[in-house]
Chain A
Amino acid sequence: MYIIIVGAGPLGVRLGQLAIDDGHNVVLIEENESRARRGLTELNAQILRADIDEEGILEEAKIGRADALIATSEDDRTNLMAVALAKVAGLERLIAVVNNPSNREVFARLEVATLPDPHRVIAERLFHFLQRPETDEA
């Protein structure tokens, strides 16, 4: 598959690594220069440094060839913009992280598969360890 990942933070980079290890092609879009550069040191992938609303950036990422777009930014506005633009461009498989649970509805309207409130997922997991210490994993 050819996957566009928006955001090259810790999440985007790990996701990119998983996808590459699984044999997929990956391009990342990251607006922050230093994050983009750090992403390059960890990931052997194409990284575009640009705001998501910069004109033609999804075309530059070859959205016409893409099979999916995954928005991993910590800013819901960026993620929303990304999936909306991808939707307009005709891409069907859209996945996004929704940082603020109250934004979930907007994403749902756009038919985006979401992981709402990623911090809660982590928090639950941590709390789980507290309750059942014998099942601790590293």
Chain B
Amino acid sequence: MPAVTRTILRDLGLIIHIPGAMALFSVLIALLAGERFAVFPFLFTGALAILIGQTLYRLFQASARTRLPHAMVLASLSWLVVPLLGSLPFLLISTQVGEGPETLLAFREPWNALFEAFSGFTSTGLTVAVSPDELPRSLQWWRSFMEWVGGIGVIVLMLIILDPASDAYRLYRSEGREKKILPNLSATVRIMGRIYFTYTLLAILLLRVLGVPWWEALNHGMTSISTGGFTITGESIAGYSVAVRLAMMALMVLGAISFATHFRLLFERKWLESWQGLQPRALLLLLIGGTLFLLLENRWFLEEWLWMDSMFQWTSALTTSGFSTATIASWSPTAQLLLTLAMVIGGSAGSTAGGIKLNRITVIYKGLIWRFKRTTSLPHELIRYEVDGEVLTEGEIGRRIEAAGILVALWFLLLLLGVIALLHMVPPGTPLNEIVFEASSALSSVGLSTGITAPELAWQGKLTLIMLMWMGRLEIIPVFILFTWPVGRMRDAVEQRMPIGD
């Protein structure tokens, strides 16, 4: 077996411990909730994951250090294998209970269990649970827990806990979180973990103070800060008071702000400066501008000023959370496409949000400005390429624009392919705009739905959405590298390269 493959399998072994530990911890929740039927499923999942993880780790313990293309393949593989394990509690619990509500029994169908697990670990929030309030508490918890862990990234979490000797920065980069907060990586990751944990606790307390019962506050706190979007109520967020909805919006926005900004806000107390960056400014602008557009569109079509719903749905879409206060299927196709645009854009890079992300949107916007400048500039004039107060060389700026442009192109290509595939799998007569909406929701890890995601959807349709969720979460390129891995050329190239540890 090639040495690179051994390294990847060893690291995969380490990562598989995470769903294992999650499942074992959830035994406690099952016991506390008095759901004895859930104890064995969690124990089994945990034991199996740790067994596989230990086996892989021990077999390939002596392998070489991790390098960037390794890390990309590893990230892609992890997001395949971890949800596979994460689907086990759904399958096992739904088969353990003899009788139960329809929502629970639907998980006896393996595609439904898989779908829910992929949606969870990619912190998407699309769900095949028709009435999540009827699920046993242990499964409600498992759904929220998957999103919470998936939100910060299984890999980053791994680094917080174990701090392996591998070149961690590369792992961290391939997970799409590029902005270093502190020079030292493992310190960075620990700080990220601390911020995440603190925000989650505050989110839970905030919801509780506003009158949400403890159990709901716990679950929704976890799924909002991770911009996940699973709920444990029957009607998502629609049943909550205005204050709770506003609080949820604030939490979603917090989740869509990059950790670097949070760090500056919390530790360096640069309140104003943290908002000066391109990404925070773009986020603010898009939140306000988009809400107004959506409000007007709804006024036009529904002849009502839907202040709260427009604001909430737009925030939910842009932050790629996926909570709902309204039935989006009843909104106009234009409103749906507006929300689709928000979902495609997504939140900040370096946050738990998905989508193309604001760093790329702002780079492309800047590129457009420079493009205009070049056409109007004097024959000998040089253009000043400034991004966030930093003047970059033409080469560097070219690379950034190229990277952003390629990702945007891939994103839309994948979206189109997803839509074409879904067209064959949804019930006949489903409007095209709803299919585009659903595919974007999956690709950008959002979770808003017009109703296409349902237990009755054909398995091919579920598989298509799973693929979109998986590829979108990893920002596509690592998945391509995984696909080219067996061909060998890439693998050989990695073999000959120097380790990346600078």
Contacts and interface: CB of A to CB of B under 8 A. Distances in A.
A, B from the same assembly? yes
Interface of A: 29, 36-37, 40-41, 44, 46-50, 54, 57, 60
A36 B378 contact: no
Contact of A48 (B380, B384, B394): B380
A37 B379 contact: no
A57 B391 contact: no
A60 B393 contact: no
B380 A50 contact: yes
Nearest to B394: A37
Interface in B368-398: 378-382, 384, 386, 391, 393-394
Contact of A37 (B378, B381, B382, B386): B382
A44 B391 CA distance: 10
A121 to B, nearest CB: 30
A82 to B, nearest CB: 15
Contact of B382 (A49, A54, A60): A49
15 contacts: A29-B380, A36-B382, A37-B382, A37-B394, A44-B384, A47-B384, A48-B381, A48-B382, A49-B381, A49-B382, A50-B380, A54-B380, A57-B380, A60-B378, A60-B381
A104 B500 CA distance: 57
Nearest to A60: B378
Given A29-B380, A40-B384, A50-B380, 12 more contacts: A40-B382, A41-B391, A44-B384, A44-B386, A46-B378, A47-B382, A47-B384, A48-B378, A48-B380, A48-B382, A49-B380, A60-B379
Interface of B: 378-382, 384, 386, 391, 393-394
Q: Is the interface of A mostly helix, strand, loop or mixed?
A: mixed
B376 to A, nearest CB: 12
Looking at A44, A48, A54, the one whose CB has the most chain B CB atoms below 10 A away is A48
Contact of A47 (B379, B381, B386, B394): B381
Contacts of B380: 29, 48-50, 54, 57, 60
B366 to A, nearest CB: 15
Looking at A29, A37, A57, the one whose CB has the most chain B CB atoms below 10 A away is A37
Contacts of A40: 382, 384, 391
A115 to B, nearest CB: 27
Contacts of B394: 37
Nearest to B382: A47
Nearest to B383: A40
Contacts of B378: 46, 48, 60
A36 B393 CA distance: 11
A35 B393 CA distance: 12
B393 A46 contact: no
A24 to B, nearest CB: 18
Contacts of A44: 384, 386
B235 to A, nearest CB: 53
| Top 6 closest pairs, chain A to chain B, by CB | A41-B391, A48-B380, A50-B380, A40-B384, A47-B382, A60-B378
A37 B384 CA distance: 8
Nearest to B384: A40
A48 B217 CA distance: 60
A47 B479 CA distance: 44
Contacts of A46: 378, 381
Contacts of B391: 40-41
